[in-house]
Structure 1
């Protein structure tokens, strides 16, 4: 935990799309204005309730959700390490046999035909 940055909690900018500042949510265009004290109190109220609700939500659910996500990603890692990667390797090994068979068939059956056609058409070459 010594390398945990408590100031910048989104160093990879994963949640840049979540703008929850008052100015990004509420705005009054020119010509439509509330009384200044209403606007100031709205700002204070918005920030207070945003902070309280977010902190209560994280207090009640944050640790459990972090544990759940950790389990999900552990399951994904387990599945990839113990199932997907070995399955892909097995497929690569087996496909290598098919690749050699395909190359042999092409070399035996198609290559002579292509060489013969090439010799036929080479007779039409301009001299």
Structure 2
């Protein structure tokens, strides 16, 4: 198992496909309504340039801190699940298994005689 980070495919599980935002997804001129070609080309260049610059600056300023915070959050979630939630569920399963057997015994003792009586009573009515 390799611990290196893939610098080419940074979303191998496609969890952020919904964030794919290209110039063509945001700006589009319908047939019959076109700007000057140089305006369209420069708009394309400016959009991609500023989107890239702003994202890179924002990640430079915030990315490492956010990653550290997320690491702490997921560590806390793991701690809670491993040391609290899973043992609690196992404990409840253990006790509920016992209560299930007690309940089944009570239902069997209380309901089974009535059901057997009803079945004997109704078995006397036979179709002719």
| TM above 0.5 | yes
Match of 2:18, SS?
coil
How far does residue 19 in structure 1 lie from its aligned partner after superposition? 2.1
Q: Count the aligned residue pairs.
A: 127
Aligned twin of 2:10: 9
Alignment of 1:1-127 (within 5 A): 3-127=4-128
Q: Give, in whole Å, the separation in 1 of the partners of 2:124 and 2:107.
A: 25
Q: Give, in whole Å, the separation in 1 of the partners of 2:25 and 2:79.
A: 41
Gaps of 5+ in 1: none
Gaps of 5+ in 2: none
CA-to-aligned-CA distance 1:39-90 (integer Å, 9 cap, x gap): 0000011111011100001111111101111111111110011110011111
Q: Give, in whole Å, the separation in 1 of the partners of 2:101 and 2:13.
A: 46
TM-score (norm 1): 0.95
How far does residue 2 in structure 1 lie from its aligned partner after superposition? 5.1
Match of 1:13, SS?
coil
